[in-house]
Amino acid sequence: MSKALEVFRAEELYAVGKPPIYEGERLREIAFPLGGIGTGCVSLSGRGELVDWEVFNRPNKGFALPYSFFILWARAEGQAPLTRVLQSPPAPPFSGQGGGSYRGFGFGVTRESGSGLPHMRAARFTGEFPFAEIEFQDPKLPLEVTLEAYSPFIPLNADDSGLPIAVLRFHLRNKGTPTVQVSLAGSLFNPIGYQGSGPLVNEHLGQNVNEYVDEGGVRGLSLTSRKYPAEAPVFGSLALTTAWADVACQPHWLRAGWFDALHEFWDAFSAHGTLPEHTYGPSEEGKSDVGTLALRATLQPGESVTLPFFLTWHFPHFTKYWQGAGQKCACSERPTWRNYYASQWRDALDVARYYAANEERLYRQTRDFHKALFASTLPPYVLDALSSQASILHSPTVLRLEDGTFYGFEGCHAESGCCEGSCTHVWNYAQAVAFLFPSLERSLRNADYTYNLREDGRMCFRIQLPLGSPLWEFHAAADGQLGGVLKVYRDWRLCGDDEWLRGLWPKVKKALEYAWTQWDPDQDGVIEGIQHNTYDIEFQGPNTMIGSFYLGALRAAEEMAQHLGDSEAMVKYCRIYESGRARMERELFNGEYYIQKYDPAKAPKYQYGEGCLSDQLIGQWLAHIVGLGYLFEPEHVRSALKAIFERNWRSDFWEHGNPQRIYALNDEQGLLLCSWPRGGRPAFPFPYSDEVWCGIEYQVASHLIYEGYVEEGLAIVKGVRARHDGYRRNPWNEFECGSHYARSLASWAVLTALSGYHFDLPHKTLGFAPRLRADDWCSFWSTNSGWGTYSQQLGEGQGEATLSVAYGALELETLLLGGIMRRVKGVVTLDGQELEATIWPRGGRLRVHLKRPVHLSEGQTLKVKLLW
Amino acid sequence: MSKALEVFRAEELYAVGKPPIYEGERLREIAFPLGGIGTGCVSLSGRGELVDWEVFNRPNKGFALPYSFFILWARAEGQAPLTRVLQSPPAPPFSGQGGGSYRGFGFGVTRESGSGLPHMRAARFTGEFPFAEIEFQDPKLPLEVTLEAYSPFIPLNADDSGLPIAVLRFHLRNKGTPTVQVSLAGSLFNPIGYQGSGPLVNEHLGQNVNEYVDEGGVRGLSLTSRKYPAEAPVFGSLALTTAWADVACQPHWLRAGWFDALHEFWDAFSAHGTLPEHTYGPSEEGKSDVGTLALRATLQPGESVTLPFFLTWHFPHFTKYWQGAGQKCACSERPTWRNYYASQWRDALDVARYYAANEERLYRQTRDFHKALFASTLPPYVLDALSSQASILHSPTVLRLEDGTFYGFEGCHAESGCCEGSCTHVWNYAQAVAFLFPSLERSLRNADYTYNLREDGRMCFRIQLPLGSPLWEFHAAADGQLGGVLKVYRDWRLCGDDEWLRGLWPKVKKALEYAWTQWDPDQDGVIEGIQHNTYDIEFQGPNTMIGSFYLGALRAAEEMAQHLGDSEAMVKYCRIYESGRARMERELFNGEYYIQKYDPAKAPKYQYGEGCLSDQLIGQWLAHIVGLGYLFEPEHVRSALKAIFERNWRSDFWEHGNPQRIYALNDEQGLLLCSWPRGGRPAFPFPYSDEVWCGIEYQVASHLIYEGYVEEGLAIVKGVRARHDGYRRNPWNEFECGSHYARSLASWAVLTALSGYHFDLPHKTLGFAPRLRADDWCSFWSTNSGWGTYSQQLGEGQGEATLSVAYGALELETLLLGGIMRRVKGVVTLDGQELEATIWPRGGRLRVHLKRPVHLSEGQTLKVKLLW
């Protein structure tokens, strides 16, 4: 039996189905990010709390706004009213957490989230990013209550996917026979003045203004402050609004001591569903207020209603808070700039009005994406791996700079980005941005080649903010710098924009050829010098981890040179590639996998030598994704991938002695970064070698699938997601060196690998070669111009392939179909209209060539009917 | 069916048995304090980790010393060795916790506790304070492994119960057939220089010295520092030693970067059970070292061995860290003094030597106490309530000042005491110290009347440190001040020391009579003025909460006045008592329970009025404990107690709307501080009214038992302990306004109530009247001079009562036996020797009067055989 099947039943690996429903203990760790790309976010917990308020321009795990919760009052005719905080009950432990004065550990469950009030009795959470849904259960309540939460996420439309909003749609249904009156109250604390991390400090509050507003199609609470001028770093606004007409609003809770404010709120609301009135001016120094917006409705038996809340924020100024953070430099000395979103909306209310005005479209297009993705026949945990990690784009790992440039940390410390600069070697692994928001991905390339490249070709691997700041003084990262060439090639193939390519080309060449001064001075195609890399140390001597990046870069550059007519470069890159490939095959393949040869006298500590490195063919993986094919001998590649799986994937960690960081343990499954099955482990192997990184697991899993080891690849993916089960870890937060770690965006390659996705937009060509369930397949595709689904059904003597455009458009001349190797007859139609085409097998795929390229518009479907 | 039996089956309430075994999820919250009275402590987690290192003179929840864990290497002859961290596996969540740089949330399970190394597969934890035991389980290991952890705790011997030590005895048994070689390594980081709270800061480290020592019967690691002079606040030492002969010691782990130190340790130890050698001087500035002590043994099949570790500490200087804490005053301006323990031992090694030299006695006497307590026929959750809360005495809630005076915070913030000054109103509830360490309790009285009493009789209720500091400017606490009189009476009755009483008497009178200037100026026995109290607000007008303290104080004072021949005072106190009782019965009993009458025009916010207050008869409770009998009309008292249970005890909290602090929730049981079953709830009732406090629950539970409502009292106790089940909360940390909250020391009254314990040492009289299982009873008793067990068996026509002295001695003239109301014949023997005695029923008890008082020595037993 295969090792994969020793751990997972075939049915578990292959069955189609829905992503998991989280209940009970599995709700514990859930925090589902709500927000836009580059706006920060607030997360929805498994219980229904709003947690991790990271809207203040930096990560801020564990921070919650006090008293900012939703509570439902319902009175069935003739019965006593019931009131429920719309959360499942607080879960143990109940001792309280953390420090503080008269709070924290030893003071019980925090009362500021309404924990002391009656709750719904249970929650069932489903998360299919960008949508989260919680079905609340309560035996006494005469209503069915479901919360649908999301933020607009529309691939290719980065701006509408970058709204600083969390939309909370409460669906209520009267399940009983009496008429039910409801009042659904959302409360929000006015935190304006908050510094973005650490506890709320009184001295930052004061002159906070809570107002009821009703204009531009929305009504509700506007929270601002008069204490800070518009240019102050903490300046900003929050709003809790609705498009619902029947509302009540209490801009201020009672200003009083002890527990009186919540006391008064609870007494009135629980008795009558009403909100006490208080007329106050701006808050006193050191204080602020909670306000409440209540949506009211009457439901006849069986009637349903959707009560929507729009939580919007607008904190326009981004401060480079990590500048001089170690030296305790004054905040005022830190550079600031405006968030891209701040250039689009004036304040939080403006965002709400924009959303309300476009709600139908934004919701529909986000749903369309969700439908297109989840229509797939992929196993549910694969869909989960794809969709959940796309949420990184709504997390504080991601910024958009003033000019719209996409920028990423690697991940997030609890209270700051970790680490800065769109780190090229970490973002090498990430694929989702390139496929879902190609223009954002290209903005990364543009910034990289504009701001990180030195005259001699050496590149910084961390871009310094604000853009144009002096370059970072440190090693170049060999993997990051060479990976960049492959990424340019990928991004050009996804958009077909020759002008863009032409503009970058001289810089790309310079960056590639820097290898000849530093890493491969003898230009034999084998990297030998000191190679800083993603393990934060320097490899020395020939190895295929950096070597495969180098070969891939040479091949990609050769292709681009050819396209641009730079034949001198083309020939030279080709020659060096061939030489390097031959020598690496000769010297580094040990009969099972590829090793490193280093010189103990010259090498720094921390090499891998004879080890079986999970990243040993990462450049080959990228080459597959971007369509370059094999860089190395295919049989060796397959052997090495099999070895990585067999040697490094652990079915449990009970006997694993790991002095390093701990990302998989006990009965979990995971892929080690390296092992030494044939001995030769250095006394001090490279740091991280004993660890398990999700991003590398996706890299290896998708590469295994590219090599035909589908079962092995799926087992790795399933292992990763099983570790993120809501109880052990948050399904929407795969971390490594911090939360929402960008490397996990590699999960998107599992889709390209399983669907055998081929994109060559310069030649108006798309292709699919499903590696699983080829007779009944459906999956998502995307390019720079549109996205949709591809499906195929293969039966006895006939088959059908269908390409639909759900969003945008597609210029198509050639469609490559994999897994259909015979000679066939075929008919191609566009929305039923036949198109002239020739169909023949070539290179392992069926080539469907249209006589005239077609423009597929949104909603259109191209069908290929095949007979054999 | 009674309400108690609606929640708990009779069997659950009444069955005798063992306290719980904690496994799985119930291990999560366990932290069992190890340390002495007034020494701080380190806690043993359910998994076997040393957590919450609070040995640095302040609370410090969540702080752990890095790499300070125990790990076992075992090689069965002819087999590969196995190595196990002696902890059960880390439990979810696995995302990491808290903030920090490259650590905390988003960085995985902390590696510093050895979490990445192979662990034992499971743990079973039992805690019968002062002993904790963990049975570790692992299917592969050829050994049975049990950890027995304790610190000496010997009632009446406060000094030996005040050793700064945690003793960790690992019991190993070879359960297989091959011979097994073992090496058990304990590691300890040298933290000297640490400030006592917050994270370890590098700048405080440096010049740390780790040495191997072997002298005075112990050998092992001594950890000191040359950076700080002996008078520096952070000066001190730690030691990890053993009396075991066959040891290896590695004072320093490798000094190197990345993960190398743990890497090298693990590689060597897991391969051979050995420790690499490094010879280093004191640590560099900003750094410190881990050291390891390994105990070695060879076990033949079936052979057992006990490998003991002594973890000792010595941080002599206590800083009043809360002085000016809000004003960020410089540490150097804060007063410091020496801990009492520092006057007894020179350093941590000295403590270890003392322990080793006295180990047999200290262990035996601690075991004797454990046996005497757990020999009881009390239900297991009652034993658990008694023993677990005694652990407060080993927690950082408790100090001993330089002169030995006992001092208590109310409880503990995560990182500081909360709140200061042996707060008289909170410590009113505490009973365990009075019965287990009466000399410490008397030192509280001495300090209170020496330092808190003003010339006019007004008392501070928080003593200011250092002793002799200016008095605190705030209200007197009516409950605290009046309760003091009852406590003097109790403490005198427990010791019979007339000189002590005589010394305090003028001050006690002054304190009592202060009531006539402030609270009862018309001396009618009814308190009417502004009454600050334990709810941190001021009651106004007549009420029995303060009123019962007043009546109890008057009665206690009357008795003491009589004994001391102060007849003028005696007569006056008696008159006022009678007047007050009559008026309160008339005006405050509403037919069901006692209420408060306040004047809305004069009263501050936050009264209770018509409410059913759980503390409404707290003075009556104290009167029962100390042997004063009824202060109020017995039938009214019983009605009120029943009402408190019926009205305020909740079988769940699903519909409880509590805007205050949250100490019981969801499906838990608990007693509200107040409810308003007949209406009349003030718009803003007194703070805490919606809360559940363990200390008040014990007060009411034991009072219910005194009134004969045994089932109800037991149900409350069972409810408290069910909330502290290891999963929801730590069984060894009942918190209220902070951890290890002193009010829970009220649990000891459940023992005095159930055993009907009567003590009158001035008259050499003890008495028992078991209220449960009177025909087959055994329980613990204690006085100022000795402790032991009392048991009775009653059968057909005969019975036997046995009083044994397990520690100390007892002068006895009269023994009162309850539950035996008939005329009997009896024979009294002392260790088999008949004593002359008369036996007759009086006042509901059988009176056994010895013609000549006897001196019962340690180990002696007095028996009374009865025939009827």
Tell me: the pLDDT tens digits for A474-493? 989 999 999 999 999 999 99
Is the N-terminal amide bond of B130 cis, ω within 30° of 0? yes
A516-572 pLDDT, tens digit per residue, is 999 999 999 999 999 999 999 999 999 999 999 999 999 999 999 999 999 999 999
Is residue A259 within 8 angstroms of chain B, CB to CB?
yes
Q: How confident is the model at residue A821 (pLDDT cuts 50, 70, 90)?
A: low
- pLDDT block averages, 10 residues each, chain B of length 868: 89 92 98 98 98 98 97 98 98 95 95 96 98 98 98 98 98 97 98 96 97 96 98 97 98 97 98 94 98 98 98 97 76 89 97 98 98 97 98 98 98 96 98 98 98 97 96 94 98 98 98 96 96 97 98 98 98 98 98 97 96 98 98 98 98 98 98 98 96 98 98 98 98 98 98 98 97 95 98 93 98 92 86 95 90 98 94
Q: Are B291 and B252 in contact (CB under 8 A)?
A: yes
* Chain-chain contact of A662 with B115 (C-beta, under 8 angstroms): yes
Structure tokens at A618: 């990462």
Q: Are B50 and B42 in contact (CB under 8 A)?
A: yes
Structure tokens at B787: 């402790």
- Reported for A839-844, long-range contacts at CB under 8 A and 24+ positions apart, including other chains, are A839/A864, A839/A866, A844/A769, A844/A818
d(CA A188, CA A251): 9
Mean pLDDT for chain A overall:
96
Q: Which of A260, A657, A738 sits opposite B270 (nearest CB)?
A: A657
The share of chain A scoring above pLDDT 70, in percent, equals: 99
Alpha-carbon gap: B256 to the closest alpha carbon of chain A (Å)? 11
Structure tokens at A745: 């965006």
Restricting to B residues 140-179, those with a Cβ less than 8 Å away from any Cβ of A are none
Q: Which of A93, A102, A654 sits opposite B29 (nearest CB)?
A: A93
Q: How confident is the model at residue A330 (pLDDT cuts 50, 70, 90)?
A: low
The count of CB pairs under 8 A between chains A and B is 227
Helix pair angle (A618-626, A544-564), 10° resolution: 30
Q: Which of A99, A415, A655 sits opposite B118 (nearest CB)?
A: A655
User: What pLDDT is attached to residue B823?
Assistant: 74
Structure tokens at A616: 């040993």
Q: Which DSSP category does B535 fall into?
A: T
Structure tokens at B307: 């490998």
CB atoms within 10 A of CB B474: 10
User: What pLDDT is attached to residue A844?
Assistant: 82
* Chain-chain contact of B106 with A263 (C-beta, under 8 angstroms): no
Q: How confident is the model at residue A18 (pLDDT cuts 50, 70, 90)?
A: confident
Alpha-carbon gap: A15 to the closest alpha carbon of chain B (Å)? 28
Structure tokens at A433: 């941005």
User: What pLDDT is attached to residue B331?
Assistant: 65
Chain B residues in contact with A67 (beta carbon < 8 A): none
Phi-psi category of residue A756: left, alpha or beta, with phi > 0 → left and psi -120 to 50 → alpha = left
Residue A262 forms beta bridges with which residues? none
Q: How confident is the model at residue A859 (pLDDT cuts 50, 70, 90)?
A: very high
- Within 8 A by CB and 6+ apart from B528, the residues are B519, B520, B540, B541, B542
Q: Which of B108, B266, B655 sits opposite A118 (nearest CB)?
A: B655
Alpha-carbon gap: A194 to the closest alpha carbon of chain B (Å)? 18
Nearest Cα residue in chain B from A82: B655
Q: Are B554 and B539 in contact (CB under 8 A)?
A: no
Q: Are A61 and B106 in contact (CB under 8 A)?
A: yes
Residue A817 has pLDDT above 80, yes or no: yes
User: What pLDDT is attached to residue B327?
Assistant: 67
Nearest Cα residue in chain A from B82: A655
Is residue B669 within 8 angstroms of chain A, CB to CB?
no
Q: Which of B95, B101, B263 sits opposite A730 (nearest CB)?
A: B95
Is residue A532 within 8 angstroms of chain B, CB to CB?
no
Q: How confident is the model at residue A328 (pLDDT cuts 50, 70, 90)?
A: low
Alpha-carbon gap: A158 to the closest alpha carbon of chain B (Å)? 27
Beta strand B798-818 with B765-768: parallel, antiparallel or unpaired?
parallel
CB atoms within 10 A of CB B319: 18
* Chain-chain contact of B413 with A29 (C-beta, under 8 angstroms): no
Q: Are B766 and B803 in contact (CB under 8 A)?
A: yes
d(CA B537, CA B544): 16
d(CA B429, CA B699): 7
User: What pLDDT is attached to residue A843?
Assistant: 80
Q: Is ipTM beyond 0.90?
A: yes
B685-718 pLDDT, tens digit per residue, is 999 999 999 999 999 999 999 999 999 999 999 9
Q: Are B217 and B356 in contact (CB under 8 A)?
A: yes
CA triple B535-B539-B545, angle to 5 deg: 75
B197-233 pLDDT, tens digit per residue, is 999 999 999 999 999 999 999 999 999 999 999 999 9
Q: Which of B93, B108, B684 sits opposite A662 (nearest CB)?
A: B108
Is residue B322 within 8 angstroms of chain A, CB to CB?
no
Q: Are A289 and A190 in contact (CB under 8 A)?
A: yes
* Chain-chain contact of A116 with B662 (C-beta, under 8 angstroms): yes
Going from the C-alpha of A504 to that of each of A160, A450, A626, the distances in angstroms are 28, 9, 18
Q: What is the pTM of this model?
A: 0.97
Restricting to B residues 738-767, those with a Cβ less than 8 Å away from any Cβ of A are 738-741
Q: Which of A106, A413, A665 sits opposite B106 (nearest CB)?
A: A413
Instruction: State the residue for tokens 């002239």.
Output: A836
Report CA A490 to chain centroid distance, whole Å: 19
Length of chain A in terms of residues written: 868
* Chain-chain contact of A735 with B107 (C-beta, under 8 angstroms): yes
* Chain-chain contact of A106 with B729 (C-beta, under 8 angstroms): no
Q: Are A530 and A604 in contact (CB under 8 A)?
A: yes
Structure tokens at A526: 């084998």
Interface probe with B: pick from A266, A662, A672, most Cβ of B within 10 Å = A662
| 3-class secondary structure, B398 | strand
Interface probe with A: pick from B201, B418, B658, most Cβ of A within 10 Å = B658
Q: Which amino acid is located at B410 in the chain? A: E
Restricting to A residues 416-435, those with a Cβ less than 8 Å away from any Cβ of B are 418
User: What pLDDT is attached to residue A331?
Assistant: 65
Interface probe with A: pick from B267, B605, B661, most Cβ of A within 10 Å = B661
Nearest Cα residue in chain B from A81: B655
Residue B172 forms beta bridges with which residues? B145, B305
Q: Are B778 and B789 in contact (CB under 8 A)?
A: yes
* Chain-chain contact of B93 with A117 (C-beta, under 8 angstroms): no
Chain A residues in contact with B659 (beta carbon < 8 A): 111, 116-117, 259, 262-263, 265-266
d(CA B430, CA B480): 12
Structure tokens at A806: 């759900």
Structure tokens at B861: 């037993």
Chain B residues in contact with A121 (beta carbon < 8 A): 654
Structure tokens at B495: 């010791």
Structure tokens at A409: 């940390």
Chain A residues in contact with B258 (beta carbon < 8 A): 606, 684, 687
3-state secondary structure A448-515: HHHHCECCCCCECCCCCCCCCCCCCCCCCEHHHHHHHHHHHHHHHHHHCCHHHHHHHHHHHHHHHHCH
Is residue B414 within 8 angstroms of chain A, CB to CB?
yes
Q: Are B269 and B275 in contact (CB under 8 A)?
A: yes
Beta strand A765-768 with A798-818: parallel, antiparallel or unpaired?
parallel
User: What pLDDT is attached to residue A820?
Assistant: 73
* Chain-chain contact of B665 with A107 (C-beta, under 8 angstroms): no
Residue A327 has pLDDT above 80, yes or no: no
d(CA A211, CA A242): 14
Going from the C-alpha of B485 to that of each of A6, A598, A631, B112, B435, the distances in angstroms are 73, 82, 90, 51, 17
User: What pLDDT is attached to residue B285?
Assistant: 97
Q: Average pLDDT for residues A22-35, to the nearest whole number?
A: 98
* Chain-chain contact of B739 with A105 (C-beta, under 8 angstroms): yes
